[in-house]
Amino acid sequence: MEDTRSGPLSGGLRQYTLVEILDYYGAGTHNDELDSAKLFPEDDGPYTLESRFFVLPDWQWTGDAEVAAFADSNSLQVDCCYLGEQLTDVIGLARQQVGSPTRQQLVDAYNYYLEMDDFLDLA
């Protein structure tokens, strides 16, 4: 699949560190793009600032079966696919709680959310 969109994290099969992802999406200016993305981690969590993810836009997917087929054909673990919306929610709540959360606070909050299916109170 060819990506015709532009932007630092808007497609192509390339890995990004969690730092790069947080720096790009952390300000909240690209929420729509992140909300519709799928994040495929390189390894199992818990994640660190240097953990690597594939960030794939959802703009071409017609359903979960297509995502699974794409992941399988590129040796990605579809069972470890996260929705970008989950990270958007974690970032947004962290910003509400502490104003300007550090990258590490965001990583801690994301790990907590992924493990507990609940939000970490950073306040």
Instruction: Read off the pTM.
Output: 0.75
Paired tokens of 95:
């910003």
CB 37 within 8 A of CB 56: yes
Stated as kind and residue range, the H or E segment containing 107 is: helix 103-116
Task: Parse the chain into domains and list their residue ranges.
Answer: 15-116
Would you say the C-alpha torsion 59, 56, 48, 118 has a positive or negative sign? positive
Q: What pLDDT is recorded for position 67?
A: 66
Long-range contacts of 61-67 (CB under 8 A, 24+ apart): 67/38
In this predicted structure, the answer to whether residue 1 has a pLDDT above a threshold of 70 is no
In this predicted structure, the answer to whether residue 11 has a pLDDT above a threshold of 60 is no
For 29-84, what is each residue's pLDDT tens digit? Answer: 776 777 778 788 888 889 999 999 888 776 555 666 766 676 677 666 656 677 78
